Amino acid sequence: QAADSKREQFRRYLEKSGVLDTLTKVLVALYEEPEKPNSALDFLKHHLGASAPENPEVEALRLEVAEMKEKYEAVLEENKNLKTKVKVY
């Protein structure tokens, strides 16, 4: 009986923390895959890892990419303006 009580407490803990809901969603996604992946474990790792907290290095790289995109757009605009000025009429 004590083991059943501990199991029930653990189940409630998993339910309260959202683990059961998340696992259920990932398993349903795997079930609904038209072509099953070779490794179900890799599928689970990939889909569970997608909701993991961001690595600080990844966030820094995202910011860097955003900055580079802005600079790229500015250079394109500058290039366009310069081409307009250089045109011979």
Work out the percent of the chain whose per-residue pLDDT is above 70.
92
Same domain, 1 and 37: yes
Give residue 67's domain range.
54-88
Q: What are phi and psi of 81, to 5 degrees?
A: -65, -40
Whether 80 and 38 share a structural domain: no
Considering the domain architecture, whether residues 59 and 26 belong to the same structural domain is answered as: no
Could you tell me if 32 and 66 lie in one domain?
Answer: no
The verdict on 37 and 71 lying in the same domain is no
CA geometry: angle 59, 16, 23, nearest 5 deg: 60
Please, which pLDDT band fits residue 59 given cuts at 50, 70 and 90? confident
What confidence category does residue 81 fall into, taking pLDDT thresholds of 50, 70 and 90? very high
Amino acid 2: pLDDT: 81
Q: Please tell me which residue, 58 or 66, carries the higher pLDDT value.
A: 66
Question: Do 21 and 62 fall within a single domain?
Answer: no
Task: Clarify whether residues 45 and 7 are in a common domain.
Answer: yes
Residue 56's pLDDT band (cuts 50, 70, 90): confident
Helices (H) then strands (E): counts for the chain = 4, 0
Shared-domain flag, residues 68 and 47: no
* 37 Rama sector, left if φ>0, alpha if ψ -120 to 50, beta otherwise: beta
User: Mean of the per-residue pLDDT values for the chain?
Assistant: 88
CA separation for the pair 5, 12 (Å, rounded): 11
pTM for the whole thing? Answer: 0.49
